[in-house]
Amino acid sequence: MTDMKRLLSTRAGDKSEAWIGLYDQTDGIRTWYWSLPGVEFNERETNWRPGEPSGYKTENCGLLLSNLIWLDVYCRFKLPFLCYDETNRTQKYRLIREGKTWQEAQSYCREKHTDLISGMKQLQDGELEEVMKSADNYSFFGLFRDTWRWSDGSSFSFRHWETLPNNERTNSVRCAVAGIDKEGRWKTDSCNQRKPFICYDGNLCLPCESSGRANLPS
């Protein structure tokens, strides 16, 4: 998000959007991530209900039951959700009962707190167990999966979509475009389009000339 804010501050001249180093693989392999950047997902440390994740292509968001068991569900459902606030020493975890989609919940948590609850350290915290005693039967938390990969091979989980993209397999690779507007939200486009792009070598490089898809560092 720091890089996104730097990008918005430059406005990239009179350009409205630019390529970033995120692309959708054609093999359809989906990987689980935690919403909170810097928290790595570990396949050996999970708490799925037997039979989950169910494997449906469009069930790409995590649902936390009141007993802390996980399910995968549709991201478009409007459900309560759980936020994490790293700055609050007395109440790190917040149950928000207002129904929102997973993406709306993520945006809410990032704006008003830190992010959706993410990672086994938070999920195993006794303070969260106390919060869950008063929770509804289920709530969104910071688990999601997608087919998108960073061009430098990193597993960085940060996403800033305008709307969550459809993760079903497509016949052509899609690439991500960052909007140069007040929020800098991302959208997808065919990678053979020619657009300005953003390079990274420790500092953002702006503006760069238009091109087709390149192996952009992220």
Residue 151 pLDDT: 87
For residues 135 and 87, state if they share a domain.
Answer: yes
For residues 99 and 113, state if they share a domain.
Answer: yes
For residues 216 and 196, state if they share a domain.
Answer: yes
Residues 6+ away with beta carbon under 8 Å from 218: 20, 21, 22, 150, 151, 152, 154, 156, 200
In the chain, the largest separation of any two C-alpha atoms, in whole Å, equals: 55
- The C-alpha atoms of residue 172 and residue 5 are separated, in whole angstroms, by 30
Instruction: Specify the range with the lowest mean pLDDT, choosing from 87-101, 143-157, 196-210.
Output: 196-210
Average pLDDT, the chain: 83
Could you read off the pLDDT of 51-83 as tens digits, one per residue? 999 867 688 999 999 999 999 999 999 999 999
Q: Is the pTM of this model over 0.75?
A: yes
Q: Region 169-174: what's the mean pLDDT?
A: 60
For residues 110 and 169, state if they share a domain.
Answer: no
Please state the domain count of the chain.
2
Domain that holds residue 162: 1-28+149-218
For residues 172 and 133, state if they share a domain.
Answer: no
Residue 10 pLDDT: 62
> Is a pLDDT exceeding 60 seen at residue 120?
yes
Q: Region 126-149: what's the mean pLDDT?
A: 89
For residues 115 and 173, state if they share a domain.
Answer: no
For residues 91 and 185, state if they share a domain.
Answer: no
Residue 213 pLDDT: 41
> Is a pLDDT exceeding 90 seen at residue 92?
yes
- The C-alpha atoms of residue 190 and residue 174 are separated, in whole angstroms, by 5
Share of the chain above pLDDT 70, in %: 80
> Is a pLDDT exceeding 90 seen at residue 128?
yes
For residues 24 and 34, state if they share a domain.
Answer: no
> Is a pLDDT exceeding 90 seen at residue 2?
no
Could you read off the pLDDT of 7-46 as tens digits, one per residue? 666 655 556 788 888 898 756 788 899 999 889 999 999 9
- The C-alpha atoms of residue 75 and residue 101 are separated, in whole angstroms, by 6
Share of the chain above pLDDT 90, in %: 43
